Amino acid sequence: MAGALAERVFVSKLEKVGFTNVTVLDRQPFSMAAAADYPLFTPQLLDLMERLLPSSARQQVATSVTVTAEKPV
């Protein structure tokens, strides 16, 4: 599953559709360069980020989370 949501919103949505024991296993930050590989980060958005973000902030523009959850049968 991929998308752009706050972690707490993502977990809440999983629970809302019936998943239980939702646990975040890993968090990995990724840079603007890595973000360019994802359709969510359009060329226009990347250009805006380039103009607005200081260089120190470009190394972590998003975080990838790995979760585990159970769906009761």
DSSP string across 34-49 = HHTTSTTS-HHHHHHH
Whether 44 has a pLDDT exceeding 90, the answer reads: yes
| pTM for the whole structure | 0.66
Is the residue at 54 inside a domain?
yes
Please compute the mean of the pLDDT values over residues 65-71 and round it to a whole number. 93
- Per the structure, the complete domain to which residue 59 belongs is given by 7-70
- 59/71 Cα distance (integer angstroms): 35
CB 61 within 8 A of CB 53: yes
Whether 2 has a pLDDT exceeding 80, the answer reads: no
Is the residue at 17 inside a domain?
yes
Is the residue at 1 inside a domain?
no
Mean pLDDT estimate for the chain: 89
User: Structural domain tally of the chain?
Assistant: 1
Is the residue at 37 inside a domain?
yes
- Predicted pLDDT of residue 1: 56
